[in-house]
Amino acid sequence: MSDKNLAAFNAFRRDLARIQKTFSSYTQTDFTQEVGTSTDSENDPH
């Protein structure tokens, strides 16, 4: 890996870690409710 690739890779890893932390801060119930709501609206025949 060149230094440039390594720097880009490290920046990517940092962003990924931040996103993961933000995502895991949601409670599981909130996430399930969101998914359930979007699924319900898609399956709603009206």
| pLDDT digit string, tens, across residues 5-40 | 999 999 999 999 988 888 777 655 565 666 655 555
Identify the residue with better confidence: 26 or 2. Answer: 2
Total domain count, the chain:
1
pLDDT at residue 1 tops 90 = no
What's the predicted TM-score (pTM) here? Answer: 0.42
pLDDT of residue 39: 54
pLDDT of residue 32: 60
pLDDT of residue 14: 94
Q: How far apart are the first and last CA of the chain?
A: 55
Is 12 inside any structural domain? yes
Is 7 inside any structural domain? yes
Is 2 inside any structural domain? yes
